[in-house]
Chain A
Amino acid sequence: MEKPAELDPATQFRELYEREYRSVYRTVRAMVFDSSLAEDLCQECFVRAFRSRDKYKPTGPPGAWLHRIAVNVAISHLRREKLARVIAPKLWVGAGSGGYERVEAKTLLERGLDKLSPKVRAAVVLHYFHGYTRDEVARILGIPSGTVASRIAKAMVVMREELVESEQTGVAARSGE
């Protein structure tokens, strides 16, 4: 399959937005586990990208540049949320009141991802889903390439263990019915 031509953020931002929106959404969704919030953060990412589109340097694909902004937006949001929970736990209201239900509704994969830090989740999705190389993931996340390799390998072990455990629990629950 022929690879689509790279778009220039400075002159073709709208096309880039429409082409990359879903891809960026999926990365953010893997980090925050909430589809509606992921869409809001994805939109915020593109607003930031639009404002700084003239600063884009074509050292990598524009998709990688957008993912870098998206990961930063998601991490900032998660930090703010964590801080709000610490400072005012009684006032803090998460995205949606049904937090418990949302946890229960998590799929096996989401439970596996939940065992990882947001940055490692992003690394797993960028590498295994979007197909970025370890060097590209390292540039997106702003960490050394060796660190990406070791974190991804460790993450896969953790996720595999979680999946096996969840599946065994599921089998035991079904056989006990």
Chain B
Amino acid sequence: MNATGDHPDELVRRIQSEISSWTPERGPRWAELNRGVEERPRQIFKVYALGATALAAILFVAFLAMAAFNVGTLVSQPVVSQSQIHR
């Protein structure tokens, strides 16, 4: 017996008795398992790879468009000469 009055293995006994009372309601479902196997597994890495490729393509097209139309910071900046400043 320990200080709390429990036998040292009381907790282990409790774990064993309570967990053995946990019974699944539905139980094994072979047909459902087969349907699950037939479904294509979700391949998250493919979604990420596709998303990353699409984003890269969008950024590249935007870069080309902005460069072609001189939009944004890709516009060639006018060079201000010293004489223009002092004028």
Encode contact with B along A64-93: 1 for CB under 8 Å, 0 otherwise: 000000000000000000000000000000
Please state if B18 and A47 are interface contacts (CB–CB under 8 Å).
no
Please state if A39 and B26 are interface contacts (CB–CB under 8 Å).
yes
| Complex CA distance for A144 and B87, rounded to whole angstroms | 78
Please state if A163 and B15 are interface contacts (CB–CB under 8 Å).
no
Count residues of chain B with CB under 8 A from any CB of chain A.
Answer: 24
B80 interface hit (Cβ, 8 Å) = no
A125 interface hit (Cβ, 8 Å) = yes
Footprint of A on B, CB under 8 Å?
4, 6, 11-12, 14-16, 18-20, 22-30, 32-33, 36-37, 41
What are 21 A-B interface contacts by the 8 Å CB criterion? A14-B30, A17-B28, A21-B28, A22-B24, A29-B22, A35-B22, A35-B24, A42-B24, A43-B29, A43-B32, A43-B33, A43-B36, A44-B36, A50-B33, A50-B37, A109-B19, A112-B11, A125-B15, A129-B15, A160-B4, A163-B6
Footprint of B on A, CB under 8 Å?
14, 17-18, 21-22, 25-26, 29-30, 35-36, 38-39, 42-44, 46-47, 50-51, 107-109, 112, 124-125, 128-129, 156, 159-160, 163-164
